[in-house]
Amino acid sequence: MIYNHIQNQIIKQKKLFALLIDPDHHTDESLMQLINKANNTNVDLIFIGGSLLNNCIDHSTELLKKYTSIPVILFPGSLLQITSKADGILLLSLISGRNPDLLIGNHVIASAHIKRSGLEVLPTGYILVEGGKSTSVEYMSNTRPIPADKTDIAIATAIAGEMLGLKMIYLEAGSGAKNTLKYEMIKGIKENISIPLIVGGGIKSSDDIKNVLSAGADIVVVGTAIENDLSVMDELVNSTHSY
C-alpha cells in the first residue's frame, strides 16, 4: 500500500522525493531517459499528470510501469487523466479554491470509474499558493491562489482539509512557479496537521530542497527543473535522502 509506505517512511523520519511527469512534455525516448535516471537515483514516487493533457496518459503510464518498480501515482488535472494502469491516484480536492467542480463535482462523476479501476485512492487536499507568476493550474482551475503572505489562511485551509478526513495535504505554487513557498507557511501548516505534507512548485536546487524539508515537508515534488535539465535529478534526490 502506497499510503502505508509513506506513513512508515515518515515515522522513520525519512523524506521522500516525488518526480512529477507531464506526458505532454515527453516523447517515448525522453520518457525512457527519465525512467532510467529515476531508477538509478532511487526516486521514491512518480506523479504523472498535468493541467492540460493532449498525449494519451494510458500509454505513458504503461511505459512507466513496464520499466520501473517505483510507485506510479496519477496527479490528474482533469477527468480525462484517469487510467487503471497506474498504482494509485491522488484524489485531489482543491480546497484553496471555491470551484465546486474541483471540490466535489468531478469526484462524483469519476467515482464509479475510479472504484472499478483498482487504483489505490489517496484523498488529498490541494492548496494552491501564489508563486510569483500566473500558472496553468490557476488558469485551468478557474480559482485564485492563496496570496504568498497569507500564512494564516493557508494554515486554516490545511486544518480544515484534515478535519474533512483528507489523508494528505499537497501545498503547491504551481508548475514552473517563479518562487518557492515561504518557509513560514510550510512550517505553520506542518505544525498544525498530523497528516503527510507534500510540497511542490518552483523547487530548482538542493538549497530549495533543504529549505522546504527543514520547514516540515514530508514529500518534495519536482517536475519542471528536471524537464529543463535531467542532470540535476541526482543532486535533488540526494539532497532529499541525505536530509
Residue with C-alpha cell 514516487? 45
**232: which 3 cell numbers?**
540535476
What does the pLDDT read at residue 180? 84
How much is the average pLDDT of 26-39?
96
How much is the average pLDDT of 90-94?
98
Question: Using an 8 Å Cβ cutoff, are 158 and 195 in contact?
Answer: no
What does the pLDDT read at residue 176? 66
Question: Helix crossing, 206-215 with 183-192: angle to 10°?
Answer: 40
Asked whether the CA dihedral 182, 185, 188, 190 is positive or negative, the reply is: negative
Question: Using an 8 Å Cβ cutoff, are 39 and 68 in contact?
Answer: yes
What does the pLDDT read at residue 21? 96
pLDDT digits (tens, 9 = 90+) for 65-90: 999 999 999 999 999 899 999 999 99
DSSP character at residue 110: H
What does the pLDDT read at residue 137? 86
What does the pLDDT read at residue 215? 98
What does the pLDDT read at residue 178? 76
- Percent of the chain's residues with pLDDT above 70: 99
pLDDT digits (tens, 9 = 90+) for 167-212: 999 999 876 677 889 999 999 999 999 999 999 999 999 999 999 9
* Amino acid (one-letter) located at 11: I
What stretches of 8-131 adopt beta strand conformation (E)? 16-21, 45-48, 72-74, 88-94, 120-128
What residue ranges define each of the domains in the chain, with the CATH number in brackets?
A: 16-241 (3.20.20.390)
Kind and range of the H or E run holding 161: helix 151-163
Higher-confidence position of 143 and 167:
167
Compute the distance between CA of residue 160 and CA of residue 93 in angstroms, rounded to an integer.
12
How much is the average pLDDT of 137-145?
89
What does the pLDDT read at residue 165? 98
pLDDT(241) > 80: yes
How much is the average pLDDT of 81-110?
97
Report yes or no on whether pTM surpasses 0.85: yes
Q: State the CB neighbour count (10 A cutoff) for residue 216.
A: 16
How much is the average pLDDT of 217-224?
97
